[in-house]
Homo-oligomer: A and B are copies of this chain.
Amino acid sequence: MVDKQQTEDGRTQASAPEDGRDEKPRRRQARGERRIAQLLDAAATVFCTSGYTAASTNAIAREAGVSPGTLYQFFPNKEAIAIELGDRLIHKMRDTYGEVLTPADTAAPLRELLDGIVDRFIDFNCQHPAFFALMHGPDVPGRMAEAHDALHAALLARLQDLIAFYAPDAPRAATARIAEMCFGLFKAGLELILAHEGAERDGYVTELKNALFRYLDPVIGDAVGAVAQPPGATSGG
A174-216 interface mask toward B, CB cutoff 8 Å, 1 = contact, 0 = none? Answer: 0001101100110111011000000010011011101100110
A138 at the interface (CB under 8 A from B): yes
Q: Which residues of B contact A191 (CB under 8 A)?
A: 184
The docked-state distance in angstroms from the alpha carbon of A124 to that of B178 is: 24
Shortest beta-carbon distance, A74 to chain B, in Å?
A: 27
A53 at the interface (CB under 8 A from B): yes
Query: CA A32 – CA B200 in complex, angstroms?
Result: 50
Indicate whether A54 reaches chain B with its CB closer than 8 angstroms: yes
Chain B residues with CB under 8 Å of A208's CB are: 181
User: In whole angstroms, what is the CA distance A215 to B213 when docked?
Assistant: 9
Decide yes or no whether A86 CB sits under 8 A from chain B: no
- Residues in B neighbouring A215, C-beta threshold 8 A: 210-211, 214-215
Q: Report copies per complex.
A: 2
| Minimal beta-carbon separation of A182 from chain B (angstroms) | 9
Q: Which of B189, B217, B218, B237 has a CB less than 8 Å from the CB of A206? A: B237
Which of A46-62 touch B at CB < 8 Å? 51, 53-54
Cα A187 to Cα B186 in complex, Å, equals 12
A153 CB to nearest chain B CB (Å): 15
A188 CB contact (under 8 Å) in B185, B206, B210, B214: B185
B contact residues around A168 at 8 Å (CB):
none
Give the Cβ gap from A109 to chain B, nearest Cβ, in Å.
Answer: 14
Shortest CB-to-CB span from A67 to chain B, Å, is 26
Residue of B nearest to A191 (CB): B184
Do residues B177 and A203 form an inter-chain contact, with CB atoms below 8 A?
A: yes
**Which chain A residues numbered 62 to 92 have a C-beta less than 8 Å away from chain B?**
none
Do residues B214 and A177 form an inter-chain contact, with CB atoms below 8 A? no
Contacts of A173 in B (CB 8 A): 203
- Asked if A51 contacts B181 (CB within 8 A), the reply is no
